[in-house]
Amino acid sequence: MAMEDKKILDELQKKFPGKILEVSEVFGDAVAVIEKDALSNIVKYLKNKPHEYSMLLDLTCVDYPERAERFEMVYHLFSFTQNRRLRIKARLPEKQPAIDSLTSLWSNANWLEREVYDMFGVHFHGHPDLRRIFMYDSFEGFPLRKDYPLRKRQPLIPLRK
């Protein structure tokens, strides 16, 4: 692990005791698995000086149906000043998966969170417009969950004229 990555992960563990569950390096990026209730505080801290992870590159969800905490939110942050990436992960339960929205920090989180909501059913507390973005309103289920039936028939919707 690069010295800078180790330094930031150690600093997070000291600044947020008990909220950083695991730290590692994957494909050259520092990774911190955190408690879901600490997400807002941790990313606010990382966005400001001295770290300046000012860009949310992406956020997504991964479905692990065999785990007790089935869903894992993954956030990719980037610091222009350090030219470094950092991956933050938070695990969510299968029943009523929810986490804080990051739309107040990064405007691109709006569409990314709507995509995760639409495809996985994760709710984002504080999101200004949480509704489907790809599927139509009467679509049943969440198509990127691993238990979604491959040949599921959806309700028919009237054709537009």
159 pLDDT exceeds 80? no
Q: For the residues 141-157, what does the mean pLDDT come to?
A: 84
The count of other CB atoms within 10 Å of the CB of residue 116 is 24
Distance CA 100, CA 118 (A): 16
Q: What's the predicted TM-score (pTM) here?
A: 0.92
What would the mean pLDDT of 44-63 be, rounded to a whole number? 96
Q: How far are the Cα atoms of 15, 46, 50 from residue 20, in angstroms, in the given order? A: 10, 14, 19
The residues with which 60 forms a beta bridge, in sequence order, are 74
The pLDDT, as a whole number, for residue 33 is 98
More confident residue, 43 or 159: 43
Domain ranges of the chain: 3-97
22 sits in which H/E element? strand 20-26
For residue 153, give the nearest of 138, 119, 145, 144 by alpha carbon. Answer: 138
Q: Are 12 and 89 in contact (CB under 8 A)?
A: no
What is the arithmetic mean of pLDDT over 74-91?
96
SS3 state of residue 114: helix
Q: State the average pLDDT over residues 124-141.
A: 93
- The stretch 110-130 carries a mean pLDDT of 98
The DSSP letter of residue 48 is: S
- In CATH terms, 3-97 corresponds, of 3.20.20.100, 3.40.50.300, 3.10.310.30, 3.30.460.80, to 3.30.460.80
The pLDDT > 70 percentage for the chain reads 99
Confidence at residue 5, expressed as pLDDT on a 0 to 100 scale? 83
pLDDT at 48 over 90: yes
pLDDT at 1: 64
**For the residues 41-65, what does the mean pLDDT come to?**
96
Average pLDDT over residues 116-125: 98
Measured distance CA(111)–CA(132) in Å, rounded: 10
Q: Confidence band (pLDDT; 50, 70, 90) for 108?
A: very high
